[in-house]
Structure 1
Amino acid sequence: MDKEAAFVFSPEQLNYKFSDEHPFNQKRLLITYDLLKHLNAIDDNQIIPAKMAAEEDLRLIHEKDYIDVVKNAGNGKVRSSYATTYGIGTEDTPVFPKMHEAASWLVGGTLTAVDLVFEHGYKHALNLGGGLHHGFRSKASGFCVYNDSSIAIQYIRNKYHAKVLYVDTDAHHGDGVQWAFYNDPNVCTLSFHEDGRFLFPGTGHVSERGHGDGYGYSFNMPFEAFTEDVSFLSAYKKIFREVVAYFRPDVILTQNGADAHYYDPLTHLCATMNIYNEIPQLAHELAHEYCDGRWIAVGGGGYDIWRVVPRAWAMIWLHMTGQESLISGKLPAAWTKKWREAAETALPPEWFDKPDIYPDIPRKNDINKKNERTAAKALKPILERKNSTDN
C-alpha cells in the first residue's frame, strides 16, 4: 500500500556545525521541525530516523583518500596541505570535531529518503539535512564536505536503475552534482541560480550542457542579480515543464536551498516567500504526472534561519502531504514568540508575522527581459534534439 510522505530527521544531523560564527547553521532544521509541530502538520509516525552513511556509500562519489582526509581532520590530525588540496580547513569549510561522522549523517538521511520511496511504499520523502551540492569527488567546497545528492543519485542508478532528474533551486549553482554526472545520459541536472558573474561558485552558464553521451542533459538558468518573483517563477515553470517532458525521469530529486529570498545575507536575488510556495507545488505536480509520484526533496542553502528558512522548508512538507491550506494561515503565536526570543539578533515582531515586507531594493527594467532571453538559451538542447528528430 502506498504511503504519502516521510520526514527524515535525526538529532545527529544537527552536529554538522563549523562554528558559532559560521553562516551554515543547522539549527534551521530544528526550527523548521518545530514550526511543523506547532502547525499540527506532522505526526510522529511520519518521522523516520536518518542513518549514518557507510564508507562504501560515500565512495560511490568520493575518493578514498579524500574520505581519509576528512576523518583525519575531524580527529584533530590536520595538515597544512588539506586546505589547498582538499578544501578542508578553508574559511568556507573549516575543520570541526567528528566532521566525517556529522557529514555522513546528512548523506545517510538522503539515502534513507531514497529507500523509503523505492522500497517502502512512500510517494515522497524529505531530508532537510541534505542538499550539500558543492562537494566534489576529492574536495570540499562552499560549506559542503560530502555531496549527499550526488551520492544518492549514483545509489539510485546502481540499486534501482532509475533515470533521475535533479532540480536545484538554491541561489548558488549546483556545481558538484552537475559535474558528477556531466557525461551521464541517465541523469539530467537542472539548476536555477544567481548568475555566476555575481555569486559563488561562478559556474552554471547556459553553455554548460553536458559532454559526450551526457550532452543535452545539463540545464542551467542563471538569473540576473535582483531578480524578483515574477521573473523567477516564469523561468522556473517553463523550463521545469519542458525539461521533465523531454527527459521523462523515473524519479525527481529536488534541492531546495532557501537563499534566493531578499532577506538572505549571502545572495543578491530578491524573491519573496511566494516562490517557496510555488517551487514545491510544481515539483509535486510533475512527480505525479511523470514519475508515479516519486519525489525526493532535500534542503540546501539558506542563511536567514529565523524568518525565511523555516517557512520555505515547511512549505515543502505541506505540499507533500496535501496541507496547502495551512500555508496562507497565520503562524502559530507560540512558535513566533519562542524563536523570536531565541534569535541571536533583534527582530521586530512584524518580521516574523509578515516576512515579505519589501525593503528598498534596486530594480532594473531590463532584468526580466534578460532572464527571458537566458531561459530561451537554456532550452536550446531540447530544441536541437527536436530538430534532429524531425529531420
Structure 2
Amino acid sequence: MTFPHTLPDLRASQIPPRMIAAEIYRGSSYGPKHPLAIPRVSLVVDMVHAMGWVDENTYLTGPVATPEQLTRFHDLDYVEAVMQAERDQALPEDMMNRFGLGKNGNPIYPEIFRRPATAAGSSIMAAQLIADGGVIHHPAGGTHHGLRNRASGFCYFNDPVLGIYALLDSGLDRVLYVDIDAHHGDGVQIAFAEDERVLTVSMHQEDLWPKTGAIDDIAGGMARNLPIPGGMNDDEMRYVLHEYLINLALSFVPQAIVLQCGCDTLAEDPLSRQLLGNQSIWEVVGAMTRLAPRSLVLGGGGYSPYGVARCWSGVWATVNGIEIPPVLPITAENILRVIKWSHSRGRQPASELFTTLADPWRGGAIRDVVRERVKRLRGYGV
C-alpha cells in the first residue's frame, strides 16, 4: 500500500499491536434465521492463529463489563433488563417494548448479556491498554447502534461509546471516531453530538436502515456524515480516504482514533448494495491508524462469514505490516472450507474465497455524486 509522501506516521511504534477477542463468540448465535446466525469473530481468531500472526503476547482475552462500567453510558434499568433477559430467557411484554429486547432483530438468546458485555468490556480494556499509545484490534466491537436505554440494530450495548468514554476518562480530549460500516453510526453520533472532545464521522449507504446520517446532519457540530449511493467501488473508497478522511484527521489532530470497520460494504454481503473488495478497507485501516498515537480498530457489520473472516484477518495483518500471501496455507484454507452458511450466497462460494485472503481490486469510475458530496463535506471543516 502506498500513501501520499506527506502522510505522517504518529503511531507509538515501540508498542506492538494487540488483538482482543474471547471464546464466548464461538457457537453463540442470535438464532438460526438471524443475519448474525453466522460465525464471525471465531473465524478471525482461528485464521490469525492458523497464519501464525498472533502469540500469547499479542492475543488477549476480553473481560465481561460490569454493570457499573456499562452504566457509564447506559441506564441502569436497561442494563438490569438485559441481565434479566439472559437469566430468564424471557421478559414481560412491557419490558420488551420499552427496551427493544426480543423485538426488531434484537432477540433474546442465551448469551444476550454476556456476549455484548464482553464486547463492551473489551473496548474499555482496549482504551486502557492504549493509554500510552499503540493499536488494538477488537473485531467483536463496533456495535454502533446501541442506545442509552434500548437495544437497536442488533446492538445491545454500545461498545464504541464505552471505549471512547474510557479514553476521555484517561485524560484525552481529542478523539476521532471514523465509521465505514454500510449502516450509519447513529448511536455513537447521538452519544457525542455536542461533546467537543469527540468528532464522529460516518460514511454509509444512504438508503439503508436506520436511514439517518444525511450529509447536512452535523448533530450539534461534532458529527460529519457522508452518505454514499449503492454501488460504491474500491476507487471511490480510495477517493474518500485521500480526499476527505486523511485531511480531516490531519486537521483535527486526534490523540486517539476509533475506527469502526464494518465490512458489510463488501460486494458479497447480503445486507448492502455496495461493491467493495477488502483491499480498500485495508487501505483505510492502514492510513487512519498512522494518524494518531493511539488507535482502536473495531469490527461492526458483516453478514457473509467468508467476507468477515478474510477482511478482518487482513485488518490484523495490515496494522502489523504483515504481507498478505497470494495463496493461503492449507490450515487457513480448511477453516474457510468448513463454513456452513445457509444463505443463497453461501451455497456455491467462489473457489477464491477459500484459497486467498485479498480480493481483486474492485475499481470503477468515481461518480459525480461522490465527488460532489466529498466537496460539500469538506466545506464543513472540523
What's the TM-score, normalizing by structure 1?
Answer: 0.87
Deviation for aligned residue 1:357: 7.0
Is 2:227 the counterpart of 1:222?
Answer: yes
SS of residue matched to 1:221: strand
| Cα contact 1:165–1:244 (8 A) shared by 2 | yes
Match of 2:128 among 106, 109, 115: 115
Instruction: Summarize the Cα distance change of 1:163–1:100 in structure 2 as closer, same or farther, 3 Å threshold.
Output: same
Q: How does 1:302-313 map to 2 (within 5 A)?
A: 302-306=302-306, 308-313=307-312
SS of residue matched to 1:99: coil
Q: Distance in 1 between matches of 2:74 and 2:129?
A: 24
Q: Distance in 1 between matches of 2:360 and 2:140?
A: 28
Q: Which of the two has greater helix per residue?
A: 1
Deviation for aligned residue 1:122: 5.2
5+ long unaligned stretches in structure 1: 288-292, 386-391
Q: How does 1:167-246 map to 2 (within 5 A)?
A: 167-195=178-206, 198-211=207-220, 215=221, 217-246=222-251
Q: How does 1:52-67 map to 2 (within 5 A)?
A: 52-67=64-79
Q: Distance in 2 between matches of 1:357 and 1:86?
A: 43
- Name which of structure 1's ranges 338-347 and 109-118 shifts more when overlaid on structure 2: 338-347
- Cα shift readout 1:270-299 (whole Å, capped 9, x = no counterpart): 111221221211112222xxxxx3111111
Q: Distance in 1 between matches of 2:232 and 2:171?
A: 38
SS of residue matched to 1:126: strand
Letter of the 2:354 partner, please give it.
F
Partner of 2:62: 50
Deviation for aligned residue 1:341: 2.8
Partner of 1:96: 109
Deviation for aligned residue 1:335: 1.9
Instruction: Summarize the Cα distance change of 1:6–1:26 in structure 2 as closer, same or farther, 3 Å threshold.
Output: farther
Match of 2:352 among 350, 353, 360: 350
- Cα shift readout 1:150-191 (whole Å, capped 9, x = no counterpart): 111112212333321001111111000001000111000011
| Cα contact 1:132–1:144 (8 A) shared by 2 | yes
Partner of 1:252: 257
Letter of the 1:24 partner, please give it.
L
Is 2:12 the counterpart of 1:3?
Answer: no
| Cα contact 2:75–2:149 (8 A) shared by 1 | yes
Instruction: Summarize the Cα distance change of 1:223–1:13 in structure 2 as closer, same or farther, 3 Å threshold.
Output: same
Is 2:171 the counterpart of 1:160?
Answer: yes
5+ long unaligned stretches in structure 2: 1-11
Letter of the 2:56 partner, please give it.
D
Q: How does 1:259-338 map to 2 (within 5 A)?
A: 259-287=264-292, 293-306=293-306, 308-323=307-322, 325=323, 327-338=324-335
Q: Distance in 1 between matches of 2:129 and 2:78?
A: 29
Q: Distance in 1 between matches of 2:168 and 2:334?
A: 45
- Name which of structure 1's ranges 342-351 and 58-67 shifts more when overlaid on structure 2: 342-351
Q: Distance in 2 between matches of 1:16 and 1:164?
A: 32
SS of residue matched to 1:43: coil
Q: Could you tell me the percent identity over the aligned residues?
A: 26
Deviation for aligned residue 1:55: 1.1
Q: CA RMSD in A?
A: 2.3
Instruction: Summarize the Cα distance change of 1:15–1:91 in structure 2 as closer, same or farther, 3 Å threshold.
Output: farther
Q: Distance in 2 between matches of 1:348 and 1:165?
A: 37
Q: Distance in 2 between matches of 1:377 and 1:299?
A: 28
Aligned residue-pair number: 363
Q: Distance in 2 between matches of 1:356 and 1:6?
A: 25
| Cα contact 1:25–1:305 (8 A) shared by 2 | no
Partner of 1:144: 155
Letter of the 1:331 partner, please give it.
L
Q: Distance in 2 between matches of 1:328 and 1:275?
A: 17
Letter of the 1:271 partner, please give it.
L
- Cα shift readout 1:13-64 (whole Å, capped 9, x = no counterpart): 4475311322124621111122112222222221112111111111111111
Q: How does 1:59-78 map to 2 (within 5 A)?
A: 59-76=71-88, 77-78=90-91
